[in-house]
Chain A
């Protein structure tokens, strides 16, 4: 476009069309103008790519067949008639490329058809895009995937799967009716579990503890021994960070979690169904300096504020 504007400006209205560009450069000129044409770039980045994405390689072949036919036939027609629009092509070229240009060739009605067609293709593509990821099967699969690792709260399933609240709720109602999942109301939230993997099926006395890969929890091994003496089995799961521990805890994948105080307070204040019990490694490395191993702290009374357990080394 820029090249065209410059050439028009430089050569003026009297310049002849013939011999303006040597024949050998015409292909290069067409290529350069095409690849810098914003309409062509825009079309390919949006409609063209999605169209071929849907209709496959055969449609690309068809598309280029049509363009080949056009670039062979159109120049012949213009050359024979000697006109492009009501005037010679070069004069029209300077004036601009208005719609009336090709009205004579009967392309104007075709342009209307093309616009309607392009809109229809775009709507179809958008519809397919929106429709594809949220078919019932996909929602169902995602829900079951989340539940396969344990129980989860319905609000967390909505967040984890990325589907809308109503859609998840709709699919869950069906799954519940079919007896695949069970739901237990807890306040305004619902705890969801797989019927084939209910909580009661878990080995009795199993406590799952999540913690961060860290040397700050030396009491975990004696804690495991002490619990075993009391008839409980402690299963330890290591997480990359405190947020993941707290997420697993609030999803019902853990009974106990050890995470930084700040993360706990965040989840606690966000009304996740957790109870902060006791400090596990308060004072950081100073715990290692203690002459004897720390003992298991006893759970504090339920109703005292969480920060009352945050005092220094045990």
Chain B
């Protein structure tokens, strides 16, 4: 991420909070994934959490892939 010009926005605690806020805004709104998690959760909370963990790993994969792509493009 060294290529990004983000001097002045490097206060780790505030960035962490910004990430928390964004994460909730990403995870909480209703959508297909929450529908699936809810459906599994009716059987047991563990099933719901497992499905959610899979979706989160997908997020991590997508993050790495898109960041790599941006690095390649030199954005």
A residues in contact (CB < 8 Å) with B: 1, 4, 17-19, 21, 23, 26-35, 37, 39-41, 43-45, 48-49, 51-72, 74-76, 78-79, 82, 84, 88-90, 92-93, 97-99, 101-102, 107, 110-111, 113-114, 117-118, 121, 132
Contact = CB atoms under 8 A, between A and B. Distances in A.
A66 B32 contact: no
A65 B9 contact: no
Contacts of A118: 25
Interface of chain A, main secondary structure: helix
Interface of B: 1, 4-6, 9-10, 12-13, 15-63, 65-67, 69-70, 75
Contacts, number: 266
B27 A59 contact: no
B39 A93 contact: yes
Nearest to A91: B39
Nearest to A16: B43
Given A30-B50, A53-B70, A114-B29, A79 B60 contact: no
A132 B30 contact: no
A61 B13 CA distance: 11
B45 A66 contact: no
A213 B44 CA distance: 77
A148 B70 CA distance: 32
A46 to B, nearest CB: 9
18 contacts: A18-B43, A19-B43, A28-B54, A29-B54, A30-B36, A31-B55, A40-B55, A40-B58, A43-B26, A56-B9, A59-B15, A64-B56, A65-B19, A65-B20, A78-B48, A89-B42, A93-B39, A111-B30
